Structure 1
Amino acid sequence: MAHSFRSGRENELELSTSELTGALGDSVTVLPLLVALAATTSISLPHVLVGFGVFQIVWGLYYGMPLSVEPMKALVGLAIVGSLSYPELAAAGLLAGIVLLVVGQFGLVGHLQRIVGEPVIRGVQLAVALLLLEAAIGLSVDAPLVAVGGFAVVAAFALVGYRQSSVLVVLALGGVAAVATAGIPTPSVPDLAAFPAGTPAFTLGALEGTVAQLGMTIGNAAIATALLCGDLYNRDVSADSLSKSMGVTCLAAVPIGGVPMCHGSGGLAGKHAFGARTGGANVLLGIGYLALALVAAGALLAAFPVALLGVLLVVVAFELGRAAFEPVSDGRALAVVVGVGVLGLAVNVGVAFVVGAVAFWLVARAD
């Protein structure tokens, strides 16, 4: 049974079974990253979930379509692997929010994407994927049998055509194990406070992470998402408009304990593939995140099997790495992608981004 009403945008806002299943398409990468981030840093998971719940609903209502709201994967990935502390992550989120708001306001998104070059952006994606894979090995090594069991679940679901849904099943199994260990948590409302997990630290690491993230955000979360809005939903949404909404999201969410968030072409495509056609998917998913925030107790998180977190990170790393290679069509671009990815793993993602951008500019100039 479906209920729908006009949201003031071009599309109806529908609350139906297909919108509910479509909402799952945006959570298959969000929840694993958030749980892993909460297990490896000082963030407050309830506050983070509140941020996601609020902005899923806000942008679903505003755009009238199932726009994705995801963590900024480069920044969150760097925090998970220990390259950024939470205060540095918060600072990077604020910096990214300011830049996205400014470039969107002045219509500069397309210009920045052309300067950086898509192979460099894809190389940053590969670097983050490799770092997540390295972290996954570290999380899984102490309980190899649990990790093998988790991979068996992923493989089984992949064989029957539900590879993306497998991460939600692994999350559910880990949640059951955590409840069995720590007990059912008492629902509680997260405290209202400014920067509840730590004051932002504007360090060189935060600046490097911001620079690396902006390359991915401009290419994937703004430009590619704007194209998909037209391809999948016949909506004319500009990359600059998406940039501004991401800037607002970061500047509003980070001070209340959230993490840097962006839109994303993968999440938008995932929602569409799972059946979402209106902003109702965002409303339903946002309500789900807010409900989960009430029971996301620290004790429950501490009891979550870390080896299963490793399995989840492997799946996320695979998806991110696959996306980095999919659009590469020639050998020179492939060399840039691999070079930036390996340099990011071996040295630093920010350094790799700058080196890759300079190399891309020199090659383009030579042509």
Structure 2
Amino acid sequence: MATQNPPVADIETAQISSQTAQAGSTTGSWANGAFQKLKSNLVFRSKWAELNGAMGDLGTFIPIILALTLARDLNLGTTLIFVGIYNFITGAIYGVPMPVQPMKSIAAEALSDTNFGVPEIMAAGILTGGILLVLGVTGLMQLAYRLIPLSVVRGIQLAQGLSFALTAVKYVKQKQNLPKSKALGDRPWFGLDGLVLAIVCLCFIVIVNGAGENLRRGCGAAREGSDQRDEDGDVEGRKSKTARVRKIIFSLPSAFIIFVLGVVLAFIRRPKVVHEIKFGPSSMEVVKISRHQWKRGFIKGTIPQLPLSILNSVIAVVKLSSDLFPGKEFTATSLSVTVGLMNLVGTWFGAMPCCHGAGGLAGQYKFGGRSGACVALLGVAKFVLGLVLGSSLAHILNQFPVGLLGVLLLFAGIELAMAARDMNTLEDAFVTLMVTAISLVGSSAALGFLCGMIIFVILSLRGWTKDKPFSTIWTDRSTPEQP
């Protein structure tokens, strides 16, 4: 009996079903992989360490946001809601404590110019975000990352770190009027925001955290190196009482404890602040921006902010991330795109323009942040505070001891500045220090970057001439070598 071939229609149906099954399997595999990556990025390496690390960026975040809220009527509630969402998303995407900070150059312009109000701030943020998005999508940001030498980037990081540290010392040493960015005289030695309190907190952080990663591997876990030395020194395997005390002390979440202390002191300094709290989110509406405000925002906000965002918010963050998290691979393209998208969403509703920052990353790493769960947790806290308290939270933050914020900012700045310690050659160190000096004196990262690139090129050309002065190049070429 002859075998009948299946109809052509049945064969086509089977092929379509097979292709559909393969496509579904591929989609399911991709979704499962994305879910596993998301889960891995949001896993707490150590609960206390990640919680402590989340406090590492507040020394920068709180003063800027509070000053703009009080001086320029920034919508604090809306800012907290959107920044909280940004924090959670970036933590989930990158799997490291990627910070979300206010754009500092735009904030500085708003605080120094009374005519630079909320519409100009939002216009500057939208335009900056749009340009960064274009640079990321077109690949130009990645090209810039590859072309800019490491020594120049380290100079920018060192300048930014020292700038943070100097600002932190001012916060500790002098009383501050944050809305006007002015010092109000020397800080008293004693009191709920005195020098003694700040110095004690500073010493407490040094005792708990030490000088850095070489002595500390996470504040929520036992010090592996210290424990190992203790165990090696104890022949019978018994830990001494001193070792147990050290383990407990080194496991304390120092930054979190200081932040909680600051909140408690805020209520003690002004108990009536409780009556000024209003529950519920702030009203959210689209910001109306006139043509003139778009122009002012671009000229006075976007132009000064762009170099800082490109260098410190994207390129320096990529470099620092590769140093701190060797297993994680980030591109300048992805960071540029995320910064761009952040500022093309929330700013239309009055949220402060934001970016990533090498200083924030260094600060969160310093205090124990190791995963995306660190900033995701911080994001949830900001989101909840924005919904529950709204802009009335500013009354509490206004009573927060500024000296304690200075202590947190000081360690973030030092940690960022220490990234330049890998400049081992004389030429690299020279370029780094030149960029740092020019950036600090000129108060411009763009000026420091430009001068650094010129110096780097000159040194490279000098190297091609085998370190001979330019005045002797032609003489040496025209004079025959003596036997």
* TM-score normalised by L of structure 1: 0.76
Q: Deviations over 1:104-131 (max 9, x none)?
A: 1122224445469434675577668778
Alignment partners' CA distance in 2, 1:80 and 1:183: 28
CA distance 1:308–1:53, change in 2 (3 Å): same
Give the C-alpha shift of residue 310 in structure 1: 7.1
Gaps of 5+ in 1: 345-351
Give the C-alpha shift of residue 143 in structure 1: 8.7
Residue 264 of structure 1 aligns to which amino acid in structure 2?
G
Once the two structures are superposed, the pairs formed by residues 142-161 of structure 1 within 5 Å of their partners are 144-145=187-188, 149-150=192-193, 151-161=195-205
Residue 373 of structure 2 aligns to which amino acid in structure 1?
G
Conserved? CA contact 2:358–2:416, under 8 Å: no
Give the C-alpha shift of residue 223 in structure 1: 2.9
Show the counterpart of 1:141. Answer: 184
Residues 1:279 and 2:378 are matched in the alignment: no
Residue 350 of structure 2 aligns to which amino acid in structure 1?
G
Identity %: 25
State which drifts further: 27-36 or 140-149: 140-149
Q: 1:60 aligns with which of 87, 91, 102?
A: 91
Residue 185 of structure 1 aligns to which amino acid in structure 2?
I
Show the counterpart of 1:191. Answer: 283
CA distance 1:227–1:303, change in 2 (3 Å): closer
Show the counterpart of 2:138. Answer: 106
Conserved? CA contact 1:23–1:276, under 8 Å: yes
Residue 42 of structure 2 aligns to which amino acid in structure 1?
L
* TM-score normalised by L of structure 2: 0.60
Show the counterpart of 2:180. Answer: none
Q: Cα RMSD (Å) of the superposition?
A: 4.0
Largest Rg, 1 or 2: 2
Q: 2:47 aligns with which of 17, 25, 32?
A: 17
Give the C-alpha shift of residue 337 in structure 1: 2.5
- Determine helix, strand or coil for the equivalent of 1:235: coil
Residues 1:327 and 2:420 are matched in the alignment: yes
- Determine helix, strand or coil for the equivalent of 2:345: helix
Residue 102 of structure 2 aligns to which amino acid in structure 1?
P
Conserved? CA contact 1:125–1:341, under 8 Å: no
CA distance 1:268–1:342, change in 2 (3 Å): closer
Once the two structures are superposed, the pairs formed by residues 1-367 of structure 1 within 5 Å of their partners are 7-9=35-37, 11-14=40-43, 17-18=47-48, 19-82=50-113, 84-112=116-144, 114=147, 117-118=152-153, 119=155, 123=159, 139=177, 140-141=183-184, 144-145=187-188, 149-150=192-193, 151-161=195-205, 164=255, 166=258, 169-181=261-273, 183=275, 185-195=277-287, 201-203=293-295, 206-230=298-322, 231-232=324-325, 234-296=327-389, 301-302=394-395, 305=398, 308-309=401-402, 312=405, 316=409, 319-320=412-413, 323=416, 327=420, 330-331=429-430, 333-344=432-443, 352-353=444-445, 355-367=447-459
Alignment partners' CA distance in 2, 1:234 and 1:301: 39
Gaps of 5+ in 2: 1-32, 178-182, 207-253, 424-428, 460-483
Residue 184 of structure 2 aligns to which amino acid in structure 1?
V
CA distance 1:356–1:184, change in 2 (3 Å): closer
Conserved? CA contact 1:51–1:258, under 8 Å: yes
Alignment partners' CA distance in 1, 2:267 and 2:68: 16
CA distance 1:133–1:40, change in 2 (3 Å): farther
Give the C-alpha shift of residue 148 in structure 1: 6.7
- Determine helix, strand or coil for the equivalent of 1:192: coil
Give the C-alpha shift of residue 153 in structure 1: 2.2
Q: Deviations over 1:193-242 (max 9, x none)?
A: 1128x779334574354344333333333233334544426222212111
Q: How many residues align?
A: 355
CA distance 1:357–1:284, change in 2 (3 Å): closer
Conserved? CA contact 2:94–2:372, under 8 Å: yes
Give the C-alpha shift of residue 317 in structure 1: 7.0
Alignment partners' CA distance in 2, 1:80 and 1:314: 23
Alignment partners' CA distance in 1, 2:53 and 2:410: 22
- Determine helix, strand or coil for the equivalent of 1:237: coil
Residue 358 of structure 2 aligns to which amino acid in structure 1?
S
Give the C-alpha shift of residue 254 in structure 1: 1.0
Conserved? CA contact 1:221–1:262, under 8 Å: yes
Conserved? CA contact 2:198–2:407, under 8 Å: no
Residue 247 of structure 1 aligns to which amino acid in structure 2?
G
Residue 37 of structure 2 aligns to which amino acid in structure 1?
R
Alignment partners' CA distance in 2, 1:137 and 1:110: 43
